[in-house]
Amino acid sequence: MRRLAVIVVLGTTFGLLCLFASRTTSATTTFADAGSHASCIGIESSSISPPGSSDEFPGGRAEISHFLKSLGGPPGAIVSGTAKLHLGSHAACDAAG
């Protein structure tokens, strides 16, 4: 009798766990845009990810990383000015240069 109770409890727990997992996960990829308070670097990074989603940088973040490294110097120093801008939209960040 005790063994049956343990099996029922474990089975119910496993079933609820599977139900929870099926409701909280998705087979599709979810994309999120950077919020309006994000830095221009965050907005740009969000707009080029995943690779292939942008005509501007079809290679995504990897392409822009390789480009920055090809300029010489640390990439962080190159983008630090833009990283401090919080203009609220991709268009406003592009217009700022």
Check pLDDT > 60 for residue 31: no
What does the alpha-carbon distance between residue 83 and residue 49 come to, in Å, rounded to a whole number? Answer: 17
Give the chain's mean pLDDT: 77
Three-state secondary structure of 61-93: HHHHHHHHHHCCCCHHHHHHHHHCCCCCCHHHH
What does the alpha-carbon distance between residue 91 and residue 71 come to, in Å, rounded to a whole number? Answer: 24
Handedness of CA 55, 56, 62, 63 (dihedral sign): positive
pTM of the model: 0.55
Tens of pLDDT, residues 72-92: 888 888 888 888 888 888 788
What does the alpha-carbon distance between residue 36 and residue 17 come to, in Å, rounded to a whole number? Answer: 36
Residue 29 — very low, low, confident or very high, per pLDDT cuts 50/70/90? very low
Tens of pLDDT, residues 37-54: 788 888 888 888 888 888
For the chain, what are the domain ranges?
Answer: 40-96
pLDDT of residue 16: 63
